Amino acid sequence: MRVPSPHHDLGPNSPWFAKDDGKRLAHDRELVAQHYPQLLYEIKEQQPVTLRGPMLFVSDSGIIAGVAVRIDFPDRYPAFEPIAYDGENRFPADLERHILKDGRCCLWLPARWRWKPFDPGALLAFLDEVALFFDRQLVYDAMGRRKWPGGEYPHGQAGYIEFLEEALVIDRSKLAALAPALLDQVRPERNDPCPCGSGRKFKR
C-alpha cells in the first residue's frame, strides 16, 4: 500500500488524501482502527480510496455473523460522502432491501442527507450507519423478510412525496396542488395566492 507523503500535496489537483499534509486521512484512519479494526484501507494509483473488510455482528445467543463491506471514497471527499457496497453480494439487490443493482447501499433519502463533511467524526457516524444498515439486513432475513426492520422512505418519486408531506406538514392533496410550483413547472409571483389553497401569499 502506498502511503501518502507531504510532497503529494502539490495543488488543487492533488488527491484528497494528500491535501492538508494528509491530516484528514490520518484522522479517519485512527477512527477506523479504533472502532472498525477489521476494515482496511486500500490506496492505489488512479483508483478510489477504499475501505474493505468484514463488519461483525453478534446475536443475543452469541452467534457471530460477518458481512463483507466495501466503502469507496469519492474524489471530492470529504465534501461528498463515501459510498457503501455489499462487498460480496451477500444480500439480493432489491429495492425492498434498499440495495441497488450494483450492490450500492441506499442508506438514506438524499433529501435527508446526514453526511457532515466538516465534522471530525463524520466517517465514524457514516460507518455506524452502514453497520446499522447491514444489521437490519440480517434481522430482515431472520424475520422471514416480511417487513423492513426500521424507518424507511419508499424509493423514487413516492419517497420524495412522503418526505415533502412531513417537511411541509401538509396532506397529499395540498402537495399535489403545490407540485407544479415545487417542480418549477409554473412560477407563481411572490404575492400571488398559494396554490395549496391556504389563502396565504405564495412567498409565505
pLDDT tens sequence across 95-126:
889 998 888 998 887 767 788 998 999 999 99
Tens digits of per-residue pLDDT, 150-172? 777 666 666 667 777 777 777 77
26 CB contacts (<8 Å, ≥6 apart)? none
Cell of 163: 418526505
Question: Strands, DSSP E only, in the chain?
Answer: 40-42, 49-58, 64-73, 83-86
In this model, does residue 4 exceed pLDDT 80?
no
pLDDT at 171: 76
pLDDT of residue 21: 87
Percent of the chain with pLDDT over 90: 41
Q: What is the pLDDT of residues 24-68, one digit of tens each?
A: 999 999 999 999 999 999 998 778 899 999 999 887 777 788 899
Prediction pTM value:
0.74
CB 53 within 8 A of CB 38: yes
Give the pLDDT mean for 123-141: 94
Residue 36 DSSP one-character state: -
